[in-house]
Amino acid sequence: MPMFITPDYRPDETRYEQMQYQRCGRSGLLLPRISLGLWHNFGGVDSFENGRAILRRAFDLGVTHFDLANNYGPPYGTAEETFGKAMLKDLRPFRDEMVISTKAGWDMWPGPYGDHGSRKYLVASLDQSLRRMGLDYVDIFYHHRPDLDTPLEETMWALADIVHSGKALYAGISAYDPERTAQAADVLNGTKVPLLIHQPVYNMLNRDVEKGLLTTLEQRGIGCIVFSPLAQGLLTNRYLTGIPGDSRAARPQAYLGAGDVKPEVVARVSKLNELAKSRGQSMAQMAIAWVLRQASVTSALVGASSPRQIEDTVRSLDRLVFSASELQQIDSILAG
């Protein structure tokens, strides 16, 4: 038995019965309907043991897909380091059971080569990410956001060359609009590295993808993994009675602030929470089921600050179906 296996970690043998998997667009890759992102709670400022416990619990529940980016932390790069450490301690024997992704596209290091969409940045950034995670390759490498100042061909050819080099198995994009997504897919098709997946934001409070992106992805056979399906925690029971001290909105470096917990949002979520209860679900579970009702959404990419949260979230799979009346009620609460 290799030295890096800790004697106390044996994944749950029923894990693949607890999760559902869906094909990612027209590819051979199956993704779990619920994937775990390491944007928050896995940085150098966070407890390693808590992050490790979340990763273990997620894997025990059949979550096979873990999503990172070069600059997740804080500080930048430290979420990949945390993940690398957890791989070494617990998960490395299961590498072939895992889909690991990372990204480059936002600011990462100083100077002109640590941001945006140049070939120079993408290739160097992935090399750094692999070192931090202690991996030979990632499964999916993303361009994290569109860069209108770099020719699209340069960015897409860099992704394709990275795949041809074996440092990533598939290519993805994030936050591209429908038109640029179609152009990116065309360029990549010319390289024989199809665009596997798009990673947009989608939740009850942000429905932009319904205005064309989902149709584009479906028509072109591109998978879709939606980020922040809980609106960073707003679409849970977290903020129904104030802002808890251990919540994201209370953290100094988070992208969700106390000002985002608006009374009108809390009022809507309180009503949605009543509907969730009538479905026998937590608010978080209903919010996840709601994004997964779209056949073109391959996976909901969630965050978690404790093992209990990922457990709760995964149980959304127990009730994915909505009646027409429930969907109407949700629409009218959101419009109200």
> Residues in the site for ligand NDP, rule: CB under 6 A?
37-40, 67, 144, 174-175, 199, 227-233, 236-238, 247-248, 284, 301-305, 309, 312-313
Helix, strand, coil % in the chain, rounded to nearest 5 = 45, 15, 40
Helical H segments across the chain, by residue range: 15-18, 48-60, 78-86, 119-133, 152-165, 178-189, 213-220, 263-278, 283-292, 307-314, 324-335
Residue 253, judged by CB atoms within 10 A of its CB (0-12, 13-18, 19+), counts as exposed
Strand partners, 85: none
Shortest distance, position 250 Cβ to ligand NDP, whole Å: 8
CA–CA separation, 137 and 1 (whole Å): 23
Shortest distance, position 39 Cβ to ligand NDP, whole Å: 3
Shortest distance, position 197 Cβ to ligand NDP, whole Å: 11
Shortest distance, position 38 Cβ to ligand NDP, whole Å: 5
Based on CB atoms, which residue is closest to ligand NDP, 5 or 150?
150
Shortest distance, position 194 Cβ to ligand NDP, whole Å: 20
Q: How far is CA 325 from CA 76, 230, 275, 285, 321, in A?
A: 45, 22, 11, 18, 12
Copy the structure tokens of residue 143: 């361009």
Based on CB atoms, which residue is closest to ligand NDP, 144 or 167?
144
Based on CB atoms, which residue is closest to ligand NDP, 5 or 311?
311
Cβ 69 vs Cβ 144: under 8 Å: yes
Shortest distance, position 103 Cβ to ligand NDP, whole Å: 7
Based on CB atoms, which residue is closest to ligand NDP, 90 or 260?
260
Based on CB atoms, which residue is closest to ligand NDP, 10 or 82?
82
Based on CB atoms, which residue is closest to ligand NDP, 34 or 188?
34
* Number of C-beta neighbours around residue 250 at 10 A: 15
